[in-house]
Amino acid sequence: MSQTIKLLLVDDEDDYRRSCGKFMERLGHTVRSSASGAEAMTFLDREDFDVAVFDIDMPGMNGLELMQRVQEEAFDVEVVFLTGKGTIEACVQAMQMGACDFLTKPCSLVDLEHRVQLASQRGKLKKENQQLKAIVTRNRPAPKLVGNSVAMKDLSRMISKVAPTRKPVLIEGESGTGKEVVARSVQQQSDLSDRPFVTINCAALPQQLVESELFGHQKGSFTGATADKPGLFEVADGGTLFIDEVGELPPELQPKLLRVLEDGSLRRIGCHRERKVKVRLIAATNRDLTEEVKAGRFREDLFYRINVLTLNLPPLRERKGDIELLLQHFLPRGWSLDDETLETMVHYHWPGNVRQLINVIERATILADQQVITMDDLPRELVHANDSLSSMRLPPEFSESSHLNGESVAIDHCENGTSIDAEQDPALGDSNLKVDDLVKAHVLKVLEQLGGNKAKTARHLGIHRRKLYRLLERFEQNLPSEEVL
């Protein structure tokens, strides 16, 4: 299928150039014509072209020299050469320098247009290939946005409204709340869903790299720039760019971002040529950008540019209704949680939000013995948060000094069932108990005070649950508990 092409025609033969230009324009192409290599360079400097046709024999800068300049300046253009008879060698040289085709004069304009079309398709394929590579390496499949709390339902409604507009979207929310998932949902529900979705996290990159990642660089523009590299705006051209942690964007780059948002133009580092891109921007922040503006760290004009449509993602602790659904979603098939663990997870405050919840599940599935996650498999911070009983004391007969946290001291002092002399340890009052009696009384008392909950009791006693079960069995059979301890 023929396409409209932006074409640069460079030939010193006025008649040929004019008739060729008219022919191409009649077919709907946009044409710039120039009679010399030097003039062609000024066009290339100012504008983007899909294809350039260079005559090889020109006074001043000839076609080959022009090709060399195109290579040096890394212009993104497909070049077709025109040659008179006897200059095939020069054409071979041009092809080796990166030209994509050549034609021998005289050639029909129809033929030339056909070759220009092929060159344009080749350029598009090259670009698509570049974008696909970037997408394949950067993208995971779009995750599903899980949640049926009121907040998430409102958010889903908002997403379906803002997605088709192509306007910039700003997503606000704490770290780990799912801002990238929301960005993917916006892209998936837009008409750009089959176009590139490219992401960058400004906080994850050293500041010097952010500019080169976003806007690209030219070979040799700084130490380590060993090749020309397109920036992510170019990679995302025609699609969506997601800038995570936009509040971290260095102040000196903010005008550059504003510029590309205003008119789609950008310059690679070290390159004076302006390029044009068409990209939908989705930005995310876990900072309050209005505060950043007030503090002078974020440009106000940029803030208004990106804050056209705002989506707010509440922290997980404010939508506890989503937790059970998220657990179901992230638990491997066939796995479950016991009641206490589920309750603990639902009531936990999740400072790291959904990301933390996923990590907790992953850790627990590694630690759990069977496919049931219990309190023993949860990290300390969740267990402690659940433990409202840390201040609990031993029953009075065990005195102040032998409260739960200090119990092992009392027991250690009474090895091998020797009786405790109350006078030696007045804290124990007139009890004259053996270790076994002490252990049994203590364990049973804690169990009773914790409503018979064995998991909580084991945790509170600082022993594994299996050890508690063995102790209880032994108490029932009136066997000494020491072996278990």
Q: Which residues bind ligand ATP (CB under 6 A)?
A: 143-147, 173, 175-181, 244, 284, 286, 354-355, 358
Say which residues have a Cβ less than 8 Å from residue 360's Cβ, sequence separation at least 6.
345, 378, 379, 382
Cβ 208 vs Cβ 261: under 8 Å? no
Contact by Cβ (8 Å): 78, 124: no
Compute the distance between CA of residue 20 and CA of residue 28 in angstroms, rounded to an integer.
13
Cβ proximity to ligand ATP, 184 vs 460, nearer residue? 184
Which is nearer to ligand ATP, 182 or 302 (by Cβ)?
182
CA distances from 205 to 134, 136, 185, 208, 237 (A): 17, 20, 25, 8, 22
Least distance CB 356 / ligand ATP (angstroms): 9
Least distance between ligand ATP and beta carbon 373 (Å): 18
Q: How far is the CB of 352 from ligand ATP (least distance, A)?
A: 9
Closest separation in Å from C-beta 360 to ligand ATP: 12
Please report which helix (H) or strand (E) contains residue 276, including its range: strand 275-276
Minimum gap (Å) between residue 281 Cβ and ligand ATP? 16
For ligand ATP, the closer of residues 19 and 148 by Cβ is 148
| Token code pair at residue 235 | 């990679």
Select 16 or 330, whichever has its Cβ closest to ligand ATP: 330
First to last CA, the chain: 82
Closest residue to ligand ATP using C-beta atoms: 178
Cis previous bond, 106, omega within 30 = yes
- Residues 447 and 461: their CA atoms lie apart, in Å, by 10
Between 146 and 253, CB nearer to ligand ATP: 146
When the beta carbons of 145 and 422 are compared against ligand ATP, the nearer one is 145
Number of neighbouring beta carbons within 10 Å of residue 407 = 21
- The residue among 157 and 272 lying less far from ligand ATP, judged by its C-beta, is 157
Q: How far is the CB of 312 from ligand ATP (least distance, A)?
A: 12
Nearer to ligand ATP, 178 or 196 (CB): 178
243: which strand partners? 200, 283
Find the shortest distance in angstroms from Cβ 314 to ligand ATP.
Answer: 11
Beta carbon nearer to ligand ATP, 243 or 450: 243
Q: How far is the CB of 277 from ligand ATP (least distance, A)?
A: 24
- Least separation in angstroms between residue 225's CB and ligand ATP is 28
Measure Cα distances from 11 to 8, 54, 63 in Å. 10, 6, 9
Give me the long-range contacts of 453-462 (CB less than 8 A, separation at least 24). Answer: 453/340, 455/338, 455/340, 455/374, 455/375, 455/376, 456/340, 456/375, 456/387, 456/389, 458/376, 459/375, 459/376, 459/383, 459/387, 460/387, 460/389, 460/392, 460/404, 461/404, 461/407, 462/408
